[in-house]
Structure 1
Amino acid sequence: MKIKYSAFHVLAIVAILLSSCSMNNVEQDNSFKKYFDENKVNGSFALFDNGRGKFVIYNLKRDTTRILPASTFKIVNALVALQTGVITTDSTIIKWDGVQRNVSNWNQDLSLAQAFRYSSVPHFQEIARRIGRDTMQKWIDSLKYGNMKIGPAIDSFWLDNSLQVSPDEEMGLVKKLYFDQLPFRKGVQKAVRDMMLQEDNSNYTISYKTGWGFNGENHAIGWVVGWIEENRHPYFFVLNIETADPEADIPAIRLNILNGILKQKGFFEGKM
């Protein structure tokens, strides 16, 4: 079921909160709900067609509700690290602290690009400590990222619910990143875009960063934020999911939902 909103109704609800794009048309598509139901999670999804200025949303209320960013904050963490010189290039090695963790890829020295690819929490915690509280706060304020609250711990504020950001704000961030519109050097933005690239073939390229954390109710939160490009035409997306099930396979579920929705919308065939 698709519900079209009047321009007045859209502006009344989202003029302030939906800062990610200038919308000529906003549509809520409740047909996406089946993907969340099939995977037994709640959540939201938004897709922005940059060329046509068309914004499609499932669950508008959640799309504008702030939640912990989890590892999607690695986008900002990497940008700040490269901009400030704390990390010189994406090949700069961050030493492993020697603590054995349940993700085997984290138990080794990693370059920035590898740490980003493996979404290594301890390596990015070390990067945040090197950046320092004052510098990190300056950049978060500059970006107006979410509620802009670091909280007491410089190395876990994106995981402990101090920092919170809405799905819409996350989309706004990656849209600006794609177009070199963030307050970082263009080379820095390109480096982070390159690290976000997941697939590149003759039909499409898709770039994103995932996230997985727990909110104040100890519900698992999953994220995927990025863009898919076909025929040099970018479409920006953000997926957020939530479940109280401690056994839920968040990495699999979030990609199942993302791929299902994008396939329904006609992606992956190079025809968009």
Structure 2
Amino acid sequence: MRYLFISCVCFLVVMMFAACSPNNVTVDDSLKKYFDENHVTGTFGLFDNGQGQFSIYNLSRFKDSAYLPASTFKIVNSLIGLETGKISGQHMVIKWDGVTRKFPGGDTASAWNKDLTMEEAFKVSAVPYYQEVARRIGKDTMQRFLDTLGYASRYGRAIVRKIDSFWLDNSIKITADEQLGLVKKLYFDQLPFRKKTTQDIVKQIMLQEDNANYKLSYKSGWANTENGDELGWIIGWIEENKHPYFFALNVDAPPGTNLQPIRIKLLKDILKQYGFMEGKK
């Protein structure tokens, strides 16, 4: 079977994605102004791979507070789907089921309500596409992969309860530290998946901006916490002059807050403060 790697030698030790330690962290409270001006609370962490150093705002939240992964789970769902053959490649189409879906604000999810390739579904964060991928993977196989990865396990094993919503319904939770560790391992092909037909494809579809100064790759996520607050994520990396820097942004805000523009604005404001996006890093 295509996913026999789950067993035996390679995975006697469960992978953990925790990334930072007290010896390589600089706490940067100067970033607070970006969260305040956007009326959100949260955390941000940046890892300079060349120097092995972190810059983190709100360290306790970054390391110790876990939240549902929302659509950032599409990274892992894609990896497992590709590895098991449930996704044949980034151009695999899943037919629209004919159900017209709307976003919480009432707007029709026109980008979702059509036939989509994997790459298209990832870019527009189409929940129905990836719910179908999860159903095709199946609960038992999904659970084995999450156990093998040690995904979202900082505070105990991540249990797959409902196969097509467990990453959205607060039944599993992950820290920003774990999220950053995940994308770092993906970038360096250190996850327990094949390189060319699995990890490379996911890295390709994560690329959002590519110009002469930088390459920006990420996956966002947006859902509601158990108390109804809006929760947002952006996790990924920025490359300048072929040097990668990894980041995880996590925010929450009162119900009804439109986090879609806030997340990317926050990310870019912070990256610009650190001197990115000009090709000079």
TM-score in terms of structure 1 length? 0.91
Q: Which residue in the other structure is 1:201 paired with?
A: 211
Structure 2 match to 1:14? none
Q: What's 1:133 paired with? A: 139
Mapped pair 1:239 → 2:249: yes
Equivalent position of 2:128 in the other structure: 122
Are 1:98 and 2:98 counterparts?
yes
What CA deviation, in whole Å up to 9, does each residue of 1:236-259 have, x standing for no partner?
00000001141x121100111101
Residues 156-186 of structure 1: per-residue CA shift (max 9 Å, x gap): 0000001110000000000000000000000
Who is 1:12 aligned against?
none
Superposition deviation, residue 130 in structure 1 = 0.3
Percent identity over the alignment? 56
Deviation string, structure 1 residues 169-222 (Cα, Å, up to 9, x no partner): 000000000000000000110000000000111110000000001111111100
- What stretches of structure 1 of length at least 5 have no aligned partner? 1-16
Structure 2: distance between partners of 1:155 and 1:73: 12
**Match of 1:19?**
18
3-state SS, counterpart of residue 141 of structure 1:
helix
Where does 1:83-232 land on structure 2 (aligned, <5 Å)? 83-102=83-102, 103-147=109-153, 148-187=157-196, 188-232=198-242
Partner of 1:7: none
Q: Which amino acid aligns with 1:32?
A: L
Q: What is the alpha-carbon distance in structure 2 between the residues aligned to residue 266 and residue 206 of structure 1? A: 14
Cα 1:36–1:91 change in 2 (3 A) is: same
- Superposed CA RMSD in Å reads 1.4
Q: Which runs of 5+ in 2 are unaligned?
A: 1-15, 103-108
Question: For the structure 1 residues 22 and 44, does the alpha-carbon distance in structure 2 shift closer, same or farther, using more than 3 Å as the test?
Answer: closer
Assess if the C-alpha contact under 8 Å between 1:150 and 1:158 holds in 2: no
Q: What is the alpha-carbon distance in structure 1 between the residues aligned to residue 159 and residue 96 of structure 2?
A: 24
1:97 is displaced (CA, Å) by 1.1
Q: Does 1:262 align with 2:271?
A: yes
Distance (Å, rounded) in 1 between the aligned partners of 2:23 and 2:52:
5
User: Matches of 2:212 and 2:59 in 1, distance apart?
Assistant: 33
How many angstroms apart in 2 are the aligned matches of 1:22 and 1:40?
29
Contact 1:20/1:172, CA 8 A, preserved across alignment = yes
Compute the displacement of 1:95 (Å): 1.3
Which residue number corresponds to residue 51 of structure 1? Answer: 50
Task: Map Cα deviations across residues 37-89 of structure 1 (whole Å, 9 max, x no partner).
Answer: 00000000000000001101000111121100000000000000000001111
8 A contact 2:94–2:116 mirrored in 1: yes
- With 17-26 and 120-129 compared, the bigger mean Cα shift is at 17-26
Q: Does 1:38 align with 2:44?
A: no
Distance 2:146 2:35 in 1: 31
SS in 1 for 2:181: helix
2:46/2:56 contact within 8 Å kept: yes
Structure 1 residue ranges (4+ consecutive) displaced by more than 6 angstroms after TM superposition: none
Aligned to 1:239, what secondary structure does the other structure show?
Answer: strand
Paired position in structure 1 for 2:62: 63
Q: Indicate the residue corresponding to 1:10 in structure 2.
A: none
SS of residue paired to 1:37: helix
**C-alpha displacement of 1:149:** 2.3
Q: Is the 8 A contact 2:45 2:248 kept in 1?
A: yes
Paired with 1:252 and 1:151, the residues of 2 have a C-alpha distance of: 31
* Alpha-carbon distance between aligned partners in 1 of 2:179 and 2:22, rounded to the nearest angstrom: 16
In 2, Cα distance between equivalents of 1:122 and 1:38: 34
Quote the offset at 1:23 in angstroms.
Answer: 7.4
Calculate the TM-score normalised by the size of structure 2: 0.88
Separation of aligned partners in 2, 1:194 and 1:244: 34
Q: Distance in 1 between matches of 2:169 and 2:159?
A: 10
